[in-house]
A and B are shown apart, each in its own frame.
Chain A
């Protein structure tokens, strides 16, 4: 059974800090990995998608890396802002359109 783990469960940082969120998965036979943001009571917004053949993807202040062999991905957020406060979820894509989520990291950026 595929398991996806996110560390830390919660993180609080002052505005302006750079930070790293971690995602690990037990089954390395993945096709892709996707990072999402979720605001309270809302749906999920896609941030970055990394295909299994890629090492990283960048969008603005966000950079996601993937090490498939070690079963790890990181989401790096540069110069954090209070508007970045949300829950960040990673989801791992397997064959047969199977997509499994980690429990998320709840980020608070303090002004």
Chain B
């Protein structure tokens, strides 16, 4: 099983809403990632969890709040978003090599977020 599952596939929310994006993997990977991708742009790294601890936060605004409840799950909590936050949000996982060195990345299909 080399799947990373993201839900929901599509989400429309207002600027005052609170919602969450969810990501799940059952490959036993111990690193999980959130990327943001705008149209015709490459994925931009947002957060990395290594062994369930936040290891990279790319100065993401606090209206995005990541959570890693266990080694299989990764959430992204959304609150008071802006229309410019509309994008494809991609989750990925990898198995670190030799400690914290990056392993092969596997991506989910993404959650397409529209903020009205």
Contact = CB atoms under 8 A, between A and B. Distances in A.
A97 B88 CA distance: 21
Dominant secondary structure of chain B at its interface with chain A: strand
A59 interface: no
Dominant secondary structure of chain A at its interface with chain B: strand
Interface in B88-116: 88, 90, 92, 94, 96-97, 100-110, 112
Interface residues of A, number: 25
- Interface bin, chain B: 20 to 34
B107 A96 contact: no
Nearest to B49: A97
B28 interface: no
A4 to B, nearest CB: 8
B101 A43 contact: no
A32 B43 contact: no
Contact of B50 (A32, A45, A96, A102): A96
A26 to B, nearest CB: 16
Interface of B: 31, 33, 41-45, 48, 50, 55-56, 88, 90, 92, 94, 96-97, 100-110, 112
Interface of A: 31-32, 34, 36, 41-46, 49, 89, 91, 93-104
